[in-house]
Amino acid sequence: CKILGLLIIFSTLFSFVCYADNPLVQTLYTADPAPMVYDGTCYLYTGHDEDTIVNNFYTMNDWRCYSSTDMVNWTDHGSPLKATTFSWAKGDAWAGQVINRNGKFYFYVPVTRKTGGYALGVAVSDSPVGPFTDAIGKPLVTNNGGSDIDPTVFIDDNGQAYMYWGNGNLWYVKLNQDMISYSGSVVQVSKPSGYIEGPWFYKRNNLYYMVYAGWAGGSENIQYATSNSPTGPWTSKGAIMPNQNSFTNHPGVTDYKGNSYFFYHTGNLPGGGSYHRSVGVEQFKYNSDGTIPNIPITQT
């Protein structure tokens, strides 16, 4: 009878506590996770590491899309967008983000141009799983050559959308309502301490958050900063995830069904490393003052 009681308690607990198997995607190498919640489903867009020569570089040709309604079981939707979908691009499908506005989905990405240097492109689709097509037939932003990577987009409560991006420095533009053009000029903000790349911009309880890959003794950790304004100044709040075994890391943060989730990448899949990365996810709780706690990695 005691054993039966324990079994009932255990199975009741187990039915409420479900953990994802990390790395989330075990069929190919994925990086730069970007979650987007739409219509009750969490979509996850990732880069795709295809390097066949170890320690070559980031060989990335397309982005991938997955979805889940429980953060445990993920459906593979294949590739919704390739770097060469942009006729002006040569390749390098690095870290992007998808956002929904007015029933359309906008995919902001960095790619290398045929004429050289990085640029940010925007693709559009009627479906969160694509296919996405080039929205404007030319780069949305070409600013500083090698630094124009890792766009992150957020639409504020008043409808103003912002796109931040940058390696080494942090820039933003104010996107127009059409989401495929911007007004005013490119603004460089004073970057928060330790900032390297991979910004993830969002707002929670009237506080703006910029989570990013920071420099930590030879490789990247994850740090964040906050501001009372969408355009800064940004106050550094320190590290929330230590260096992993992949040199880079890249944050993606979302709330889903009443819980908060932190996406990242490591080199934890067999054969993994800096150019064979894999995305994972951890559930976390904000502290009562809005700060983000340290987020330990679970590997199952």
- Give contact residues for ligand FUB (rule: CB under 6 A): 31-32, 47, 58, 94-95, 149-150, 197-198, 248, 250
Question: Torsion angle of alpha carbons 186, 221, 34, 262, nearest 10°?
Answer: -130
Among residues 212 and 234, whose Cβ is nearest to ligand FUB? 212
The CB-nearest residue to ligand FUB is 94
Please provide the DSSP assignment of 40-70 as one string.
TEEEEEEEE----STTS-----EEEEEEESS
Strand partners, 277: none
Minimum CB distance to ligand FUB, residue 109 (Å) = 10
Please provide the DSSP assignment of 159-183 as one string.
S-EEEEE-SSSEEEEEE-TTSS-EE
Minimum CB distance to ligand FUB, residue 177 (Å) = 27
Among residues 149 and 269, whose Cβ is nearest to ligand FUB? 149
Q: For residue 141, what is the DSSP state?
A: B
What Å distances lie between residue 47 and 123, 275, 277, CA to CA?
Answer: 15, 11, 9
Minimum CB distance to ligand FUB, residue 182 (Å) = 21
Minimum CB distance to ligand FUB, residue 79 (Å) = 15
The CA distance from 150 to 289, in Å, is 29
Q: Where are the alpha helices (DSSP H) in the chain?
A: 2-16
Among residues 59 and 70, whose Cβ is nearest to ligand FUB? 59
Minimum CB distance to ligand FUB, residue 263 (Å) = 12
As given in the structure block, the two tokens for residue 54 are 């170890």
The CA distance from 64 to 78, in Å, is 6
Minimum CB distance to ligand FUB, residue 92 (Å) = 8
Among residues 151 and 230, whose Cβ is nearest to ligand FUB? 151
Spatial contact of 231 and 254, defined as CB atoms under 8 Å apart = no
- CA 244, chain centre distance (Å): 17
Spatial contact of 268 and 44, defined as CB atoms under 8 Å apart = no
Minimum CB distance to ligand FUB, residue 18 (Å) = 28
Among residues 9 and 54, whose Cβ is nearest to ligand FUB? 54
Residue type, 119: A
Among residues 30 and 227, whose Cβ is nearest to ligand FUB? 30
